[in-house]
Every structure is written in C-alpha cells, then in structure tokens.
Structure 1
Amino acid sequence: MRATLERAALLKALAHVHRVVERRNTIPILANVLLRAGDGGLKLQATDLDLEIVETTPAEVTQPGATTVPAHTFYDIVRKLPDGSQVSLEMGGERGTLVIRAGRSRFTLQTLPDSDFPDLAAGELPVRFEIASADLRRLIDKTQFAISNEETRYYLNGIYLHVVEQGGVSLLRAVATDGHRLARVEMPAPAGAKGMPGVIVPRKTVAEVQRLLEDPEGQAAVELSPTKIRVSVGDVVLTSKLIDGTFPDYNRVIPTGNDKRLTVDRSEFSSAVDRVSTISSERGRAVKLSLGEGRLVLTVTNPDSGNATEEIEVDYDADPIDIGFNSRYLLDIAGQLEGDTALIRLADPGSPTLVQDRDDAPALYVLMPMRV
C-alpha cells in the first residue's frame, strides 16, 4: 500500500473514526483503524463491535492495499504534524509495519492484518429517509441530557426514536428519560419515515452522530431496521447496533391536569437558580420554589455551609405552593428552552411538573420534584 494525502483531510477523517475505538481493548485488532487505499481514495474504518464508522477521503494512491494501525497513536501523530504538510503512507520494508512520512518526520507503526478486522454487517435496513442535519441535531441536542447513565436500566441508556400519528399528521419524536426527568421533542416526520420501528439509539452512537452533524445546511440519510441504524453524512457512514429492549410508556408520566401556570423570564430564572444553588451540597442540590401571587422565592438550605434566598417577579395567580427540585436538572432544562420565557405547569408538591417554552411547543420537559 502506498498513498499520499493532505494532512488536514487525513486529520479530519481520523477525528471522526478514532473516537469509536476504546482506549482499553482485550481484542488487539479493535484498538486499530483499518486503512484501505484504492481507486476512491483512502478509506478509514473503526469499530467497537457495536458501532462502526467508515470515512473515505481523497488521496493519491500509487499502490492499492490495506492494513490496520493503532488508532489513537496514529491520530496523535497526524495531529502533531505541521499544518499544510503532505502525508505519505507506505507499507514498510519489514513485514508488519507502516511508514508515515511528512516533511522531515518519519514514523514506523506496527500493523495487524486487515483480514482480521471485523465488519459490522448491517444486513437489510428496510426503512430509509433523508433529514436535514439541523433537524436531526436538534432532536439530539434537546433530549441527550436526559439519557440515563444507570446501566441496570439499559433500555433508558439512549434516545427513543419513533413516529406517532397526531391529528392526521405524522411526527418524528425523540424521547429520553432517566426516571427523574424526561425530554420529548418532535418534528414533522420526513418522507419515508412513516412505518419505521420504534428504536432506542445508544448513548455512544447518539454522541457520535451529533459530532458528524457539523454542517447546519447539510443532509443526513438514515436507514433503519429493528436492530441496526445507519446514518450517512457526506463521506462518513456510521452503522450501529440498537438497544435491544422496550422503552417504557412515557406518555403515562406526562401530566395532563397541571392547572397552576407559572410564566417566568427564562434567563432571570436560570441565573437565580444558578446563584442560590452555589450553597447547595453535591449530594442534595435541592432548591425550594415558593410561589405566591406575582412572585417566586428560591431557597437553598445547606446545614453544612448556610443558606441562600432570591426573589423574582413572575406571572402566577394560582394558589400558593412550595415545591423542591434538583437545581442541576432545572438548569439543564432551562438551557434547552429557546424562548425568552418559560412556561412551568404545576399540580402539587409531589407530582411531576411540566416545562415548555409555550403551550404546544415542539419540545416538552417533565421534572419530578424533590422533598425539601
């Protein structure tokens, strides 16, 4: 194998693929990236057996061939090469080595045979649709923070993507929850998405797809089966297994009878929560919201360090109520809202609370209260 290409093009491709590779691997070949030089340029491929990324980048190939090299070491080498340099990749004179040259720099890396590299065979992916990169990124950005980290409830370790029919309109909906908070965002379903199976996209896959959606003007092609998903963005193709589990009936936890309406300036509310929570303990993080007509008092009490209160003006004319929330969860949700105001609908101190930009907003958040 012999190929020459721009350092910038190689670095960009490596930046996409090397992240899939785990730092610690019991299977040596999984620590490597597959390099395949041919007519189409240089193809780079990496996998952890659950997730695979393939990217093809332009290269001048004088001798086709393939090999695998340690992914993180290769990435670090290319990252440290001078800007604008031409990188030459060539199988070494000694068997089982790859020589990397750029200017006066020369590196030799140990290789493993390309024949040992696993291929994540996707099989048949019957559902296919195109979606604007900005729309897919929005579905991810608005829900990703609520993905559970609790491995025992593995079916919550991802974003649930599915299509629902509502008022004669098909909607593509993304939902994530960790049992304490829930995020639900929807948009009109793209052509071809109707009839897709409900799938749970794993946390790691979600993060990698998010990184690929760099161009807000771009398009992404999504292919699905009940067990696999493939997302193609430009020259990058990401294939992943899906979480094999049943996502809970999230509609049961979205309250419909919350009659106490609080409208608050989003930025002012977020800043006030942030300020008073400075005093909270790492474990507790509880902030008490005391609501009365036209005003909201936020209180944090920490027996070890003191207490904090702040009052802000709000639009509220229902019965007074005291309710507690995890301050970090409140800030996470406030950070996802897009409008100048936040609409918070409450029932009582023990029931789930609903947060939106406004009535009928495409993004909806549910937050469980805490005892304070």
Structure 2
Amino acid sequence: MKFKADRTLLQRALAHIHGVAEKRNTIPILANVLISYEGDTLRLTATDMEIAVVEEIAATGERSGATTVPAAVLFEIVRKLPDGVHIEFDHPQSDAPLALKAGRYATSLNVLPVDDFPAMVAGDLPHRFNLPAGTLKGLIDRTKFAISTEETRYYLNGIYLHVSEGPAGPMLRAVATDGHRLARVETELPEGALGMPGVIIPRKTVAELRKLLDEGAADLEISLSDTRIQFQAGPVLLTSKLIDGTFPEYERVIPKGNDRILRVGKRDFAAAVGRVAAISQERSRPVKLSATQNLLTLSAISPDQGVAHEELDENTVTYDAPPIEIGFQARYLTDITDQIDVEVEFAFSDSSAPTLVRDTGSPSALYVLMPMRV
C-alpha cells in the first residue's frame, strides 16, 4: 500500500473516528484504526465493538492495500503537522511498519494484522428517514445533560428516541433521565419514521454523533432496527448497537396539576444561581428558591463558608400564587437553564413534589426537576 493524502482532510477524518478507538482495552486491535486504500479512496475505520465509524476521503497513490495503526498516535502526528502538506504512507508488506513522510518529517508506526480487526455488521435496518442536522443537534443538546451515568441502571445510560402521539399528530421525541431530572424534547415526525421501534441510543454514541453534527452536515440519513442504529452524515457512517433494555414509563413522573407558575428571565436567574451557589464547593449543595408576589429570593448555606442570598424583583420575575420555598441542586438548575434562551417557567405544586420547567419560547421542550430538602 502506498498513497498520499491531504493533511487537512486526514486530520478532519481522524478527529471524527479516533475517539471511538478504545485506548484502554485488553484487546490491542481496538486501539487501532483500519486504513485501506483503493481506487483513489482512503477509508478509515475505528470500532470498540459497540460503535463503528467509517469515513472516506480522496487520496492518490500507487498501490492498494490495508493495515491498522494506533489511532491516537496517528491523530497526534497528523494534528501537529503543518497545514497544506501532503502525507505519504508506504506499507510495502503486511509484517512491515507503516512508513509516514511529510516534508522533512518521517516516522514509522507498528501495525497489527488486518485480519484481527473486527467487523461490525449492521444487519437489516428496515426503518429509514432523513433528519436535518440542526434538528438532531437540538434534540441531543437539550436532553444529553440528563443521561444517567449510573451503570447499574444501564437502561438510563442513553437517549430514548421514539414516536409519540402529540396534540397535532405523531411526533419524534427524545427523552433522557437520571432519576433526579428529566428532559423531553420533540420535533415533527420525519417521513418514514412512523412505525419505528423506540430505541435507547447509548451515551458514547450520542457524544460521537454530536461531534459529527458540528461539521455542518445538512441532512442525516438515519436507519435503525431493534438492535442497531446507523447515521450517514456526508462521507461519515456511524453504526452503533442500541441499549438492550426497557426505558421506564417516563410520562408517569411528569406532574399534571402544578399550578403555581413562576416566570423569570433566564440570564438574571442563571447568574443569580451561580453567585449564590459559589458559597459552597459541594456540587450537591441545594439552592433554595423562595417565591412571593413578583419576588424571588435565592439562598444557599454552607456550614464552612457562610450564607448567600440574592433577590430578583418584578423587573425579571412574574409570580402570582401562594408563597413557596423549594430547594434544588445548583448544578441541576444550571444544566436546565443552559438549554433555555430568554425566559424560564417553573410550575410548582409544593416543596416536595416534582417541578415542571419549560422554555417559554420553545414549547417543544419540557423538563422535570426533583426538589431537595432544605
């Protein structure tokens, strides 16, 4: 195998795939990227046996062939080479190192046999539809913060993507929860998605997919079955296993009768939470919200540092209901308000019941936050 590739194209492709390769794994081949060259096309593949990412870029060369090299090492080398150079790869035989040259720079990388590289087969994917990249990015960004990291509740370790019936008809809905907060966002159902099974997309897949969406792809083709999902974004193909589990009946935890409505400007509220929470270094320390007629007081207490409080008045607060005092973990408040543009709406029942949080400018998003004792 011998070919040349543009450094910029190669770096972009490696940036997409090197994160999938497992750096800390008992199977050495999973830390490698499969490089194959044929017919002026260079194909790069990485997998951890749960996710596989394949990307093709243009290249020119003399000999076709394939080999595998450490993904992280190759990415670091290419990233640190100067812009505008072409990188020459030369692999004369299967048991020889891969020689790499760019200008006056030269190195060689140890390889592992291509036959040892696992192939991840997608199988039959009967459900197919297209989704704008911006739409998928919104679904991910407004729900991923609520994905659970508790491995024992593995069925919460991803985003639940499914079809749900809305007031105007079927919708495509994304939901994530860790048991303390819940995020639910929906969009118009794309053509071809009706009848798809509800699937749980794993946390790592969500993270790798989100990287691809920053590259400006217009539309993605999504194909899925009960066990696999595949995303085609331009020259990149991401295939992933799905979480084999049942997502909980989340609708049961969404409160229906919360009628104490507090509206507050997002920017002022988020800044006040940050200032009040700064009194304590404990991430789980609660911030207490005390709401009376068009007045909101935020406060926090730290046994070691002291007390902090801040008032927001009618210039940014609207509240016309019986007074309420309720506490929330500061980080959870911040995670939700980060998804909101202009104004936050809280719908309370009492100080111990789940609270509904909405973005007044985006009715497609809904959040549920469990209170803390204060």
TM-score (norm 2): 0.97
- Residues of 1 paired with 2:275 and 2:302: CA distance? 14
Match of 1:364 in 2: 366
Q: Residues 279-299 of structure 1: CA distance to partner in whole angstroms, max 9, x if unpaired? A: 124153201111111101111
Structure 2 gap ranges (5+)? none
Name the stretch that deviates more: 33-42 or 362-371.
33-42
User: Is 1:346 paired with 2:348?
Assistant: yes
- Residues of 1 paired with 2:136 and 2:87: CA distance? 34
The CA deviation at 1:92 is 4.4
User: Is 1:185 paired with 2:185?
Assistant: yes
Conservation of the 8 A alpha-carbon contact between 1:7 and 1:84: yes
- State the identity %: 53
Match of 2:254 in 1: 254
Match of 1:165 in 2: 165
Match of 1:269 in 2: 269
User: Is 1:62 paired with 2:62?
Assistant: yes
The CA deviation at 1:93 is 6.8
SS at match of 2:262: strand
Structure 2 matches for 1:316-355, cutoff 5 A?
316-338=319-341, 340-355=342-357
SS at match of 1:20: coil
Match of 1:233 in 2: 233
Distance 1:349-1:243 versus aligned 2 partners, 3 A rule: same
- Residues of 2 paired with 1:281 and 1:108: CA distance? 48
Structure 2 matches for 1:88-237, cutoff 5 A?
88-92=88-92, 95-167=95-167, 169-216=169-216, 218-237=218-237
- Residues of 2 paired with 1:206 and 1:128: CA distance? 19
- 2:69 is matched by which residue type in structure 1? V
Distance 1:142-1:284 versus aligned 2 partners, 3 A rule: closer
Distance 1:168-1:319 versus aligned 2 partners, 3 A rule: closer
Match of 1:29 in 2: 29
The CA deviation at 1:184 is 0.4
- Residues of 1 paired with 2:373 and 2:168: CA distance? 41
SS at match of 2:338: helix
Distance 1:216-1:354 versus aligned 2 partners, 3 A rule: farther
Match of 1:87 in 2: 87
SS at match of 1:174: strand
- 1:49 is matched by which residue type in structure 2? M
The CA deviation at 1:358 is 2.2
- Residues of 2 paired with 1:256 and 1:230: CA distance? 36
Conservation of the 8 A alpha-carbon contact between 1:40 and 1:56: no
SS at match of 1:73: helix
Match of 2:245 in 1: 245
The CA deviation at 1:215 is 4.2
- Residues of 1 paired with 2:48 and 2:71: CA distance? 12
- Residues of 1 paired with 2:361 and 2:4: CA distance? 56
Conservation of the 8 A alpha-carbon contact between 2:284 and 2:330: no
Conservation of the 8 A alpha-carbon contact between 1:291 and 1:321: yes
The CA deviation at 1:217 is 5.8
- Residues of 2 paired with 1:333 and 1:50: CA distance? 30
Root-mean-square deviation (CA, aligned residues, Å) is 1.3
Conservation of the 8 A alpha-carbon contact between 1:288 and 1:298: yes
- 2:122 is matched by which residue type in structure 1? A
SS at match of 1:190: coil
SS at match of 2:318: coil
SS at match of 1:209: helix
- Residues of 2 paired with 1:359 and 1:109: CA distance? 53
- Residues of 1 paired with 2:258 and 2:361: CA distance? 13
- Residues of 1 paired with 2:164 and 2:25: CA distance? 40
- Residues of 2 paired with 1:273 and 1:192: CA distance? 43
Q: Residues 134-170 of structure 1: CA distance to partner in whole angstroms, max 9, x if unpaired? A: 0011100000000001000000000000011223512
- Residues of 2 paired with 1:216 and 1:366: CA distance? 31
- Residues of 1 paired with 2:196 and 2:355: CA distance? 31
- Residues of 1 paired with 2:127 and 2:118: CA distance? 25
SS at match of 2:190: coil
Conservation of the 8 A alpha-carbon contact between 2:217 and 2:233: no
The CA deviation at 1:62 is 1.5
- 1:202 is matched by which residue type in structure 2? P
Conservation of the 8 A alpha-carbon contact between 2:283 and 2:330: no
